[in-house]
Chain A
Amino acid sequence: MKGLQNPSIRTRLLLAFVGVLVPYLVLAGLGVIAFRIVWQQVRTTQKEVVVEMKGAADLQVALVQLVMPANDYLTTGDPAERGEFVRRLGRAREVLTRLEQGQFAHPEERRLLAEVRTRLSGVEAASREILAVADPRADPSLVGKMKALDKAGDEVAVVLSRFREANEREIEEGVERAVVLVGRVSVLGLGLLVLSVGGGVGLALLFAVWLNRPIQAIARGSQRMAEGDLSQRVATGVGGELGNAARAFNKMAERLQERNRQIATLHVAARSLATEHDPARLFQQIVDTARDLLGASQAALAVLQDDGRIRQLFTAGLTPETSPLLVLPAELGRLEAMLRDGSTGPTAPGGSAGAVALSPASARNLIGAPIRFREEVLGALYLTGKPGGFTADDDSLVTTLCADAAVALKNAILYDEIEAQRTRLAQVFESTSDAIVSADSRGNIVAWNHGAGRIFGYREGEVLGRPLAMLMPERYREAHRTGLARASATGEMRIIGRTVEFLGLHKNGTEFPLELSLSRWTARVETFYSGIIRDVTERKQVEQMKSDFVSFVTHQLRTPLAGIKWMLELAQEAPDVPEEPASYVQDARQAAERLIGLVNDLLDVSRLESGKMKVTLQPVGLGELTQSVLDDLVTLVREKGHRLSMEGADRVPTVMADPQLLRQVILNLTSNAIKYTPPGGDVAIRMEVANGAVRWAIRDSGIGIPKESRARLFEKFFRADNVHTISTEGTGLGLYLVRLILEKLSGEVWYESEEGKGATFIFTLPVSGRGP
């Protein structure tokens, strides 16, 4: 019965087939019957017509044969002819009788046949008397009788012709009836045909709709579900596979809706967890959320301490006396152990990894998962008391919730740390004596600390949102705006990451020197600049004092040194000085020269460091300059017995440069090469133009540079460990000066060396020869 109420697709197909076929068969049968009836009718009519016409013809022939010659036969008295007449009469009667028994059903025909019978009986009666006389012509009484006979014969003929007319009419009518019948049957047949085709199509459509409806319902439902309407349900009043499909569809929709609801709740929960930064409240929120989300009656969250033991327990819906979550210490111990080991333990059938089933027996009534951030287990969440037990979906929900909770917890911790850091930074920001000023990409001030207030004289409220340009003298503002616009357009800003000196403008209108370290940072899509600004007025004053001091001291030192030097020179040139004292004077002179050299170096360092060294550019033939330095060193080279070579002097150009400074670089590097090479070594100088710069390479075969000294070689007062083995001279200022000078001239210096195998010092000077 159920199959009939909820027919399956197969049943529906069968019913559709039968439903269409049976009416067709019935209609076809009816058609055949109708055809047969008509056919018979036509056949009968045709037969009747033939029989009637034949009968009528027979009768006419018989009667005509009978009547026409009646008098002749009878009057001759010839027995043969009389016999013939009697035979013909009998025949006419026979035909008539046959006709009377035959098919002439029409009343007119019947009446006429009866009349023919009557007339024929008259003829018979008349003829009988005549036949009784041997020679009727001889009997005048018979003449009347013979005339009567003629008359009867004529009457028969008349009636007969009328009968034939009636008969023909009758036949015409029959034919007409047959034609009408055939017409009607044809119309009926056509009607049936139209009816059957139309009905068939209609039925087919009906069946198609009937068949399609449940499929359509599922399809529509799926479509709506795909569009996000999970409330879709499909009528399940269909049997068989379709019914199963519909029920499966509905179940799926229900589960999807439920899942959706859970995920939505989870999402809301995760979001609300993310905004909670107090760990205790956060834990409580996790427990409450978990209980609501999973429909459990009880939930607990154990926070583990570093040794893996429970430090704190947060619960929801728990009555301490009855809760299995509290009275299962063994289970909890196991949970702890599993969580501590980082294993998820045996999961229940269908349980997803990460969710822990505590014991097989209670597997579906108690679930839990670790709250784990990376490898660190922060705690565990577990629930019980769900009507109908937990499902695999619940496992994954718990796992997901725990993942969210872990992130939220970690966030809360990070938030705490960030808060602390922020406070610290704010403290630094406000307490530093330096000015810290931030501006947006348009150059408007967005942050201003106390230090800035102290240095520039403005309070925070007076500068926030206003352009940085207000902090600098009028004449620099245009360049500042241009630089800022270029930085915005190209991202290029030369002073980023460097410390530069500028002039600042105090609120009271005075200008003061400042030192600025600029950094750039990006928050979201906005670019900001932060500057740490230091008022260097005092430092500048100190620098000036130092510089003045150095100048004074060097002057004070140089004057007696010059006196010593000149006196020794006079002494050396004096006549008649014995050889021994002369050599003392020579040594004293050299010592004085070294001392003067040291003072000069100190003065140069002081000037270069303070930026007071002025670069005087003039055309310098680099080859000639280098050659002249070597000429000055000839004596030294000769003393050491070195082989000195130079190449490329003719290949380098004349450039704009400061000859004094450049001379000092070449001199320092070459004299180092000579000094730090044991006697009889090689010193080779090679000059060339490469990559837009003139390049000197000064190679020696000396003691080289120890590995441990390399990083510090160009530092002030630094001397490599191994120089003492060959010379105690040297101030530790030579290479430092070289570095300072080349920085000033935009050149570069470096070296290649291996201890014991000599060194090559290389320096370059841009061919433009322009310093900064």
Chain B
Amino acid sequence: MTNTGKRILLVEDDRFLRRACEVSLRQRGYTLTTAADGEEGLRVARAERPDLVLLDMLMPKLSGLDVLRALRGDEATQSLPVVILSNSSREQDVQEATSLGISGYFVKANLSLQELGGNIDRILKGGAGASDG
């Protein structure tokens, strides 16, 4: 597997989604770390420095945007690739996230795991970001 060794942090409060995502990406060869809320996600991101963060938007404690903002405010994680996985496609959320610098913004319900994996593959291979609005 070409993806072996790549570490992905998945920050997702919904356990079903967390599980499905985890299973699918592991099958693709990635090393997964998960967090169930924003606070935990931020802590893990800072501590583990993953290759990519998959970040939900609406979460307890810290929202995805808060986490993103914190990551971008920290020099160490400033350029860490972040892909937003949200079920909110509110214009202002998309805009704000985009302005903070993200590698992709996907609506989970509109995305298959297959497509998600494909996009992550591309991003980690140095491809351009993607988004489905």
Chain A positions near chain B (C-beta within 8 angstroms): 551, 554-555, 558-563, 565-567, 569-570, 596, 599-600, 603, 612, 614, 660
Contact = CB atoms under 8 A, between A and B. Distances in A.
B119 to A, nearest CB: 14
Interface in B56-115: 58, 87-91, 107-114
Contacts of B91: 612, 614
22 contacts: A555-B58, A558-B107, A559-B108, A559-B109, A561-B109, A562-B17, A562-B87, A562-B111, A563-B17, A563-B20, A565-B112, A566-B17, A566-B20, A566-B21, A569-B24, A569-B112, A570-B20, A570-B23, A570-B24, A600-B109, A600-B110, A612-B91
Q: Which 6 A-B pairs have the closest CB atoms?
A: A563-B16, A566-B20, A558-B87, A562-B108, A558-B109, A562-B109
A555 B110 CA distance: 12
Given A569-B114, A614-B91, A599 B20 contact: no
* Chain B interface, DSSP helix/strand/loop, else mixed: helix
Contacts of B16: 560, 563, 566-567
A121 B83 CA distance: 199
A551 B58 CA distance: 12
B89 to A, nearest CB: 7
Interface in B10-35: 14, 16-17, 20-21, 23-24
Contact of A603 (B17, B20, B58, B89): B89
Contacts of A559: 14, 17, 87, 108-109
A599 B108 CA distance: 13
A561 B112 CA distance: 12
Q: How large is the interface on B (under 10, 10 to 19, 20 to 34, 35 or more residues)?
A: 20 to 34
Contacts of B5: none
Contacts of B118: none
Given A562-B111, A563-B14, 12 more contacts: A551-B90, A555-B58, A558-B108, A559-B108, A563-B16, A566-B16, A566-B21, A566-B24, A569-B20, A570-B23, A612-B91, A614-B91
A554 B90 CA distance: 11
Contacts of B127: none
A567 B113 CA distance: 9
Given A559-B17, A563-B17, A603-B89, A596 B109 contact: yes
Main secondary structure of the interface of A (DSSP, over half): helix
Which has the most chain A C-beta neighbours within 10 Å: B87, B88, B111? Answer: B87
Contacts of A560: 14, 16
A596 B87 CA distance: 11
Nearest to B93: A551
Of A559, A596, A599, A600, chain B has the most CB atoms within 10 Å of the CB of A559
Nearest to B16: A563
Interface string B31-61: 0000000000000000000000000001000
Contacts of B111: 562
Given A555-B88, A612-B91, A596 B110 contact: yes
Contacts of A567: 16, 20
Contacts of B90: 551
A569 B113 contact: yes
Contacts of B113: 566, 569-570
A567 B23 CA distance: 10
A558 B16 CA distance: 13
Nearest to B87: A558
A181 to B, nearest CB: 144
Nearest to A595: B109
B89 A660 contact: no
A558 B107 CA distance: 9
B60 to A, nearest CB: 13
B17 to A, nearest CB: 5
Contacts of B109: 558-559, 561-562, 565, 596, 599-600
A168 to B, nearest CB: 161
A321 to B, nearest CB: 95
Contacts of B20: 563, 566-567, 569-570
Nearest to A604: B89
Contacts of B87: 554-555, 558-559, 562
Contacts of B133: 660
A569 B115 CA distance: 11
B1 to A, nearest CB: 16
Contacts of B21: 566
B36 to A, nearest CB: 14
A121 B88 CA distance: 193
A567 B22 CA distance: 11
B51 to A, nearest CB: 22
A570 B17 CA distance: 11
A566 B133 CA distance: 19
Nearest to B57: A555
Nearest to A562: B108
Contacts of A562: 17, 87, 108-109, 111
A570 to B, nearest CB: 6
A254 B110 CA distance: 102
A743 to B, nearest CB: 19
Nearest to B58: A555
Contacts of A570: 20, 23-24, 113
A551 B90 CA distance: 7
Nearest to A600: B110
A284 B104 CA distance: 91
Nearest to B86: A555
A555 B114 CA distance: 22
A697 B58 CA distance: 42
Nearest to B20: A566
A362 to B, nearest CB: 94
Residue of B20, B58, B114 with most chain A CB atoms under a 10 A cut-off: B20
Most buried by A among B107, B109, B113, B133: B109
A105 B88 CA distance: 172
A569 B24 CA distance: 9
A687 to B, nearest CB: 24
A625 to B, nearest CB: 15
A612 B111 CA distance: 23
A31 to B, nearest CB: 133
A603 B24 CA distance: 28
B115 to A, nearest CB: 10
A744 to B, nearest CB: 14
A554 B86 CA distance: 11
A551 B57 CA distance: 13
B116 to A, nearest CB: 9
Among A551, A561, A562, A614, residue most surrounded by chain B Cβ atoms (within 10 Å): A562
A567 to B, nearest CB: 5
Contacts of B14: 559-560, 563
Nearest to A612: B91
A225 B133 CA distance: 93
Nearest to A571: B20
A551 B88 CA distance: 7
B107 to A, nearest CB: 7
A603 B113 CA distance: 23
Contacts of A612: 91
